[in-house]
Chain A
Amino acid sequence: MNSEYATSIPREEAQEPAVRRSWRTLAIQLLGPLTIVGGIVWAVAQPYRIVLLDRAGQGIYDYLFQAPLLVVLVGIAFTFCIAPGLVEDLEAEELRDTEG
C-alpha cells in the first residue's frame, strides 16, 4: 500500500479537560509581567534614564542602579520567586474547595 495515500489512522488521545483559571490565579500571574512591562515602557519613554545608552559622566552607582531596570528586576523577582508557589497553593486550595 502506498503510504502517501494511506496514512495511519490518527489515534484519539484523551485530552485533558481545559483548566479554567480563576481570576485570582490570573491576577497573581499577571502582577510580575505587568511590572516588567511597566519598567520597559518607562525605559522606552525616558531612554536617558538608562545609563548604558548615555554613558557620559556616569559613576558605578549609575550603572548598578538604573531606575527602569530596577522596576524590571522587581517584576522578574516576583514572577519567578513569589508567583509560582503562590499560584500552586491557590490552585490546591481551590481544588480542595471544589472537591469538598
Chain B
Amino acid sequence: MIPKAETAHWIAASVALLIGLLLIAEAIVGPEIFRRRTWRAYLFPSVVVASSVGLWIIVVFSTFSTMHLLAHALWAQAALVAGAVQLAVVRGKLKSPSWSLVPGFALLVSGLAFLVHEQNPWLYSRSAFLHHAIGWMLVVVALFPLGQALRPRQVVWRAGFALTFVLLAILLFADRDAAPIFGRYGLGGGP
C-alpha cells in the first residue's frame, strides 16, 4: 500500500518546515545557546539523516520512472552527506566554517537534479511548475551556506539558510497529484 506522491511530498514538507523552524530558532538565539542541550544540538542533523533514509525508501518504491528514481537517489545521497557532515560539526570533529560548503553543494546538486529531471516547461502542470520553482530556488539559496563558509558570523546567511527550508516546505505543500497550476485562479494546464 504505497502512498500517493502528493502525500509523500507533504510529509517531506512537514520535515522541511520543522527543520526551518529549528534553524530559524538557532539563528535567533545563536548556535552557542541552541547547542547548550545535547539533544537539541543533534536534532537538526538527525532529522536530515532520517529524511535521507525516507528518501532512500522512496527510491526503492519509485520504480515507475528511472529519472525520478535517480533524482530521489541523488537527493537522498545529498541529504545523507549534509546530515553526516553536520553531525560531525556538532560533535566537534569538524571545526572549520568551510564545512558549510557541503550543505551548499548538496543544495546546488539537489536543485540541478530538480531542473534536469523535469522535462516539461514551467506552465505544463503544477508539478512541472513546482519542479522548476524548487530547482531554481535551491540553486540560488546554495549561496547562503557559501556565505556561511566565508563570513560565518553574519546572521543573514544563517537566516537565509533557515528560510530556505520554510520556502521549500511551502512549495512542497502546494504539490497536488492533479490540480490546475494556480488553483481556482486560472492557468489550467494538465495534472
Interface residues of A (CB under 8 A from B): 24, 27-28, 31-32, 35, 60-62, 65, 67, 70-71, 73-74, 77-78, 82-83, 85-86, 89-90, 93
Contacts and interface: CB of A to CB of B under 8 A. Distances in A.
Contacts of A77: 18
Interface of B: 1, 3-4, 7, 10-11, 13-14, 17-18, 21-22, 24-25, 28-29, 33-34, 36-37, 40, 43, 173
A14 B43 CA distance: 42
Contacts of A74: 14, 17-18, 21
Given A32-B21, A70-B173, A86-B34, 20 more contacts: A24-B29, A28-B29, A31-B25, A60-B1, A65-B7, A67-B13, A70-B10, A70-B11, A70-B13, A71-B14, A71-B17, A71-B173, A78-B22, A82-B21, A85-B40, A86-B33, A86-B40, A89-B36, A89-B37, A90-B29
Given A28-B29, A78-B21, A70 B14 contact: yes
A24 B28 contact: yes
Contacts, number: 62
